[in-house]
Structure 1
Amino acid sequence: MRFRLTGEQRSLRDGMRALLGRRFDGAALRAAVAAPGLDRELWRELGAAGFFALRLPEAAGGVGLGLPEAVLVFEEAGRALLTGPLLATHLAAADVPGAAEGATVVARVDGGLVEWLAEADVVTGGAGDVPAAVPLRSVDPLTPLHRVPGGGAPDPVAVLLTAAEQLGTAVRACELAVQHARTRVQFGQPIGAFQAVKHLCSEMLVRAETARAAVYAAAVTADPLDIAAARLLADEAAVAGSRDCLQVHGGMGFTWETEVHLLLKRAWVRSQRGGGVTESEEKLAADLLG
């Protein structure tokens, strides 16, 4: 099966990339690390661009698109390491007033964890006793976490869009690794000329493109098993790809002046959403044994 984006889908993807490139580039990412917090102005701009209302019917004031288009914009968000409870606000667009427009920030309980609880205007997903939330020390400085009682079964759409974000991060890791391999010179030649570095970059690309095929296919079928498989492949592509990107950069990859370590930390945190990898593995295993 071949997947080819339509002209409208390419325009949507390119438009979101241009918006994020203008409003949340590398300098803005590092500034967010230095001064953590939710940019409400950017949040409203995302709302105006239709990020949160993308899957709402036009009759309800939405854009009227579907899961394939949502996957494309979440992939771009993952590529840019965009901060904030994007998934929770997108899922709440139909039910929480102001969420679709970006006027209301929504957090969501997911497996007993909540991202961006302190910044949220509304908490969804069976939060239980939110005042009893316990702050956690997040490995990702751009994703504050709380543990709360409650939390229901993972939403398949949430799992798929998380996979899309992981795909975007995997793609970004591959881009950064290749760029560094072309420009970093050792022993009189770019390090990309060395076989070990070539292998790392090629493996990153293979993982990312395999995950892309799975995520795009799951967006078309919306089948829970396809979504589970896509999640596993996307998590692997993001985590392993970020680690390989770190290896290509060497000691520089560990420094706070680069974004490489942020890719790995975000991939780790996202991998715990929606029941994490274990939930998807159990779903696939049950189908095989059933």
Structure 2
Amino acid sequence: MEFRLTEDQRDLRAGVRELLAGRYGREALRASLDTGTAVDRALWRELGEAGFFALRLPEEDGGVGLGLPEAVLVFEEAGRALVPGPLVATHLAAGTVPGAAEGRAVVTAYDLAGGLVAYLAESDAVLGAGVPDGGLPDGGWSRVGLPDGTATASVDPLTPLHRVAGAGVAGAYREQGALLTAALQLGSALRTVELAVAYAGEREQFGQPIGAFQAVKHLCAQMLVRAELARTAVYAAAVTGVPAETAAAKLLADEAAVRNARDCLQVHGGMGFTWEADVHLHLKRAWVRAEQWCTAAEAEEALAADLLHAA
């Protein structure tokens, strides 16, 4: 089985990184925070035009005709750039919800436990198991008359949440949604490694960069190991399509994103807790994503069931 990236896959990842760097770099991220813009419709359409949402649709249906491994690479870059919005749900809705593939429609999903729905007010449609009044079948969607929800506080300023009575997780999309969310977490985990190493090389104490201190070296090394382990699991699950491997990938990617952001904060010291630093944004987004599509408890149960079945 071949897990190494092809030249086309490397080019795809580089192209997406270049696109996002030019269209949603740090200045754009900060502008979103200042204005409270959780979903930039112009950016959404540009992503649609670039094939972000239609990546896995067949070419005869107007898509790019690629597979899940390529989608994972694309979502990894989106996670690295902290692009907000229901990227996973809109991608999954391409070919089902009119306008989703082209980025003309923003689609969210019942992907959080506890009746929480992200980006409800910003969306045109919702995927999922539905609510009693909405009558959405598992895997169905609704454009008109989105369910009423009560706005609730979110730890991430760019992931607004609403509580919807009776909402259930979108079961038909759970596995693919979990893997693509794991890819977002992977991108964030890799980015916080970069941020920590860069700051450790710039910040000086006692006449030398803090990166020269053994404790900081160990932190950065542990971050890299975590991220690379998650990368291996995510890429493997994208190739094999085995549910247990998807659960493992989500579990490892969530851990890498959250713990790497925490360690990155520690490397930054007091500076990392300021609003001006981007580190806290990675941590807050990682906390939210860890609860989307497949939680740690659900992943552990899936892995335990698989092991018992194999035994």
TM range (shorter): over 0.9
Q: Name the % identity.
A: 67
Residues 100-119 of structure 1 mapped to structure 2, 5 A cutoff = 100-110=101-111, 111=113, 112-119=115-122
Pick aligned residue for 1:121 from 119, 124, 139: 124
Q: What is the root-mean-square deviation in Å for CA atoms of aligned residues?
A: 1.2
Identify, as 1 or 2, the structure richer in helix: 1
Match of 2:280 in 1: 261
Quote how far apart the aligned CAs of 1:2 are: 6.0
Matched, 1:186 2:205: yes
Distance in 2, Cα, partners of 1:70 & 1:138: 27
**What one-letter code is carried by the residue in structure 1 that aligns with 2:153?**
R
**What one-letter code is carried by the residue in structure 2 that aligns with 1:25?**
G
Match of 1:235 in 2: 254
Q: In 2, are the aligned partners of 1:229 and 1:280 still within 8 Å (CA)?
A: yes
**Hey, which bits of structure 1, 4+ residues long, moved more than 6 A?**
none
Distance in 2, Cα, partners of 1:84 & 1:233: 23
Q: In 2, are the aligned partners of 1:108 and 1:127 still within 8 Å (CA)?
A: no
Matched, 1:16 2:16: yes
Higher mean alpha-carbon deviation, 181-190 vs 151-160, is at 151-160
Higher mean alpha-carbon deviation, 275-284 vs 258-267, is at 275-284
Match of 1:244 in 2: 263
Higher mean alpha-carbon deviation, 151-160 vs 259-268, is at 151-160
Quote how far apart the aligned CAs of 1:276 are: 1.2
Match of 2:162 in 1: 146
Quick one: structure 1 residues 207 and 162, their matched pair in 2 at CA, closer, same or farther if it must change by over 3 Å? same
Q: In 2, are the aligned partners of 1:180 and 1:248 still within 8 Å (CA)?
A: yes
Pick aligned residue for 1:276 from 295, 298, 303: 295
- Structure 1 residue runs of 5 or longer lacking an equivalent are none
Matched, 1:167 2:186: yes
Higher mean alpha-carbon deviation, 40-49 vs 110-119, is at 110-119
Structure 1, residues 228-285: CA drift from partner, whole Å, max 9, x if none?
0111110110000000000000000001111000000000000000131111111001
Quote how far apart the aligned CAs of 1:147 are: 2.1
Q: In 1, are the aligned partners of 2:116 and 2:167 still within 8 Å (CA)?
A: no
> Aligned pair count?
290
Which secondary structure does the structure 1 equivalent of 2:307 belong to?
helix
Distance in 2, Cα, partners of 1:261 & 1:56: 35
Match of 2:141 in 1: none
- Structure 2 residue runs of 5 or longer lacking an equivalent are 134-145
**What one-letter code is carried by the residue in structure 2 that aligns with 1:8?**
D
Which secondary structure does the structure 2 equivalent of 1:114 belong to?
strand
Quote how far apart the aligned CAs of 1:100 are: 0.2
Which secondary structure does the structure 2 equivalent of 1:98 belong to?
coil
**What one-letter code is carried by the residue in structure 2 that aligns with 1:103?**
R
Which secondary structure does the structure 2 equivalent of 1:118 belong to?
coil
Match of 2:41 in 1: 40
Distance in 1, Cα, partners of 2:85 & 2:167: 22
Match of 1:210 in 2: 229
Matched, 1:222 2:225: no
Which secondary structure does the structure 2 equivalent of 1:14 belong to?
helix
Q: In 2, are the aligned partners of 1:159 and 1:273 still within 8 Å (CA)?
A: yes
Distance in 2, Cα, partners of 1:19 & 1:141: 24
**What one-letter code is carried by the residue in structure 2 that aligns with 1:201?**
C
Structure 1, residues 32-70: CA drift from partner, whole Å, max 9, x if none?
111112211111000000000000000100000000000
